[in-house]
Structure 1
Amino acid sequence: MQTIKFLNRKITRCKKCPRLSLYIREVAKNKVRRFQNETYYGKPLSGFGDVNAKLLIVGLAPAAHGGNRTGRMFTGDSSGDWVAKVMHRHGFASIPTSQTRGDGLILKNAYITAAVRCAPPQNKPTREEMDTCFDYLKQEKEILSNVTVVLCLGKIAYDATCKLFSVKPQKFGHNKLFKYDAIKILTSYHPSKQNTQTGRLTWRQWSNVFATAKKLTQ
C-alpha cells in the first residue's frame, strides 16, 4: 500500500507534458458556468481502488470537468455515473454513484486507472503524451500483482494495455475477450456521452461486459 501511495503522489506532481499541464490548470481556473462555485482539483490523476484486485479497468484520460474537477477518475460526470452504477450492480462497488472523492465509494476486486493522467484538449492526447504517461501504467502493473483481467474502455486504452503486456493488438470491438498466457484482455466501448446518447453503447451492452468481467475474476 505504501508503494501505491508513493506512486500516486508522484503522479499528482507530474508536469512532464507542458500542453496537458497548462490545459488542466486553465480549465481549473476558467470553470464552466455550472461549476463556478466549485474548486477544481486541476492536477494529474492517480488510479484508485482495491490494490489486491483481479480486475484492472483502463480508461482514456480524466474528463476536463469530471475527474479534473473532482480529483478522481470517472467521478462527477455522466461516464462516472455509468461506471459506478454498473460496478455496483455486479458487485465491484459499494455504492451506485460516483460524485466526489469523499462520497464513500469503495471498489471491491477492481482498480481503475487510465492511459493518460491529465485531461487532454478535445479528449485527444498526442502520441508523445501517451508515451510519456505510459511509465505510470507500467509501475501500476508491477504493484497490482493480482490482476488477471484488464477491461479496456475504448481503443486508446486497449492499445496501451497491449503495449503494457507486449501483445499484438487485434481488431477492437465491444465485449471482445483476448486470452494470453499472462493476462485476459476484455474490451468495451467507452461510456462517453458520444457513445451512450447515440445508442452506440446501450445499457444492456455495458452491463454484459461487466458480467463477463465478473465471471472471469471469480
Structure 2
Amino acid sequence: LNKIYDYINIQNYDKSYDLYIAEDNKKYINEFITKYNIAKFVIINPFGGAKKRELSQWQMEYLVEILKKIKPDHTIVFIGEQNKLKNIDPNLGLKFQSNSILDVIALIKEASYVVTVDTSIVHITSAFGLPCLTIYSESILFEKTDDINLTMRKKWKEYYRNACNNLVDKSYLKKNNLLVELPYCYDQLWSPNNPNAKQIVFYKSFLSKVDNEEFSQRILSCIK
C-alpha cells in the first residue's frame, strides 16, 4: 500500500481502519449492557486462531486480578468462540454470547479497554482507536517443541528467511530507520495499527507456557 501511494504521489493519507456497525448489532449490544447494568467495561479475548496463541487459566485469572485493581469500576467481559467461552469460570467475568463477529465488533466499540491475544480482535480494536494491550507469541528456532510451524522454520530456515525478506518493503524500513531480525516476529512491523495500543511479544511457541513471573512482569509494565 505504501508503494502504491508513493507511485501516485500521495504523501499523506489516512492509514486507519474503518468498520460499519448495523443497527441490529447496536441494539443487541445495548440490550446486553442494560441486562447486566454495565456502566463501563473491559474486554478480554484469551483465544486465538491457534492453540499456541491461547492464554492459560492462570494467565486469565492474573489478568482479571490486575484489571479489577486498576479499573475497579469496570465490568470484565470475556469474548471468543462459544465452545471455548463455556469453559471459563463465571466468577472471572461475564461471557458475551455473540451471534456472529458483527456483534463482537459492536461490543468492542463500546468498551473502555481491550486485552487480546494475536487475532482479528486486534484489528477491530484498532479501527476504533481504543486503548488496548495485545499479547503475541513467536517461536524461536532453538526451542524444543512439537509446533509444526517451528519445525518447518528449522528445516527451511534459509528459504524462509529469504522469502520473508522479499516480502518486506525495504524502502519503508530504511525511511523509518527499522531493523529486521527474521525469521522472528518483529514488533515494529507486526504491531497493531493503533497509537493507543501496547504490544507484548513473548518468544515462546505457546503463550500458555510462558513463565508466570515473566508474564506478570511484562503485563504490569504495559497495562493501564
Work out which structure has the larger RCO, using CA pairs closer than 8 Å and 6 or more positions apart in sequence: 2
Q: TM-score range by the shorter chain?
A: 0.3 to 0.5
Greater radius of gyration (CA): 2
Q: TM-score normalized by structure 2?
A: 0.37
Q: TM-score normalized by structure 1?
A: 0.38
